[in-house]
């Protein structure tokens, strides 16, 4: 009986990483932080890469960190990565926030936090508009390229609505991998390998 073992061979999809694209971890990565993760690249240059893990919620809400935030809804915080875990980052779709870094068309990182607080204080819902993260993920020059060559990551274009949908974050990795089709879709159904952490 012939078994096609190529379906288990993990290989890159040869998309070049860039700001505004996502990294999708390979299904057998046994790492507490990066296993089954989707990372939005917020910067990618020859000096290094910065990204935010989009699907690792923390047992914290924004009101727990910042008591001055007056908001009617519980605002979850996600673990953006293992670097600078005492720093708050925020992704948003608000066009008129000064000093925001454009990530993709209509999609921004950080900016004037007073304007963000004002937006919430006015009673505006942030669902689908703002997400908060503690820490970020980073790679030194050449490090991400090497990890992609080692088939640790697949690269894809970012689907902004799904990245901003907190309800979808639970299945974000599975959905992102499945959208690539073929054997990637099959891998998305593999059971998770437990990590030690």
- Judge whether 137 and 81 are in contact, CB under 8 Å: yes
Q: What is the pLDDT of residue 123?
A: 86
Ordered alpha helix ranges (H), 35-84? 62-65
- The reply to whether CATH 3.40.50.2300 applies to domain 5-188 is no
d(CA 78, CA 85): 11
Residue 184: predicted pLDDT: 76
Residue 109, number of CB atoms within 10 A of its CB: 20
Give the separation between CA 23 and CA 15, rounded to whole angstroms: 10
The pLDDT, as a whole number, for residue 197 is 43
What's the confidence (pLDDT) of residue 196? 45
User: Rounded to whole angstroms, what are the CA distances from 155 to 13, 14, 119, 145, 175?
Assistant: 7, 8, 33, 11, 14
Mean pLDDT by 10 residues, the chain (197 residues): 53 82 88 91 95 95 84 87 96 95 94 94 90 97 93 90 90 89 74 54
Is 26 within 8 Å of 151 (Cβ atoms)?
yes
Using the 8-state DSSP alphabet, how is residue 97 labeled? -
CB 66 within 8 A of CB 40: no
Sequence ranges of the domains in the chain: 5-188
Tokens representing residue 120 in the block: 């919430």
- State how far the Cα of 85 lies from the Cα of 24, in Å rounded to an integer: 21
Quote the pLDDT of residue 172.
94
- pLDDT, residue 175, reads 92
């Amino acid at each position: 009986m012939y078994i096609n073992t190529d379906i288990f061979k993990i290989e890159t999809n040869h998309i070049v990483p860039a700001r505004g694209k996502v990294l999708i971890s390979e299904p057998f990565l046994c790492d507490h932080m990066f296993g089954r993760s989707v990372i939005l690249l917020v910067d990618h240059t020859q000096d290094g890469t910065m990204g935010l893990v989009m699907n690792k919620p923390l047992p914290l809400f924004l009101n727990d960190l910042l008591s001055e935030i007056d908001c009617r809804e519980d605002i979850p915080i996600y673990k953006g990565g293992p670097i600078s875990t005492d720093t708050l980052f925020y992704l948003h779709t608000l066009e008129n926030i000064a000093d925001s870094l454009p990530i993709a068309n209509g999609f921004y990182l950080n900016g004037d936090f007073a304007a963000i607080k004002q937006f919430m204080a006015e009673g505006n819902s942030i669902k689908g508009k703002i997400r908060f993260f503690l820490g970020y993920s980073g790679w030194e020059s050449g490090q991400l390229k090497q990890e992609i060559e080692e088939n640790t990551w697949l690269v894809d274009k970012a689907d902004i609505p799904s990245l901003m949908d907190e309800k979808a974050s639970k299945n974000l990795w599975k959905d992102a991998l499945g959208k690539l089709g073929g054997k990637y879709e099959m891998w998305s159904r593999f059971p998770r390998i437990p990590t030690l952490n």
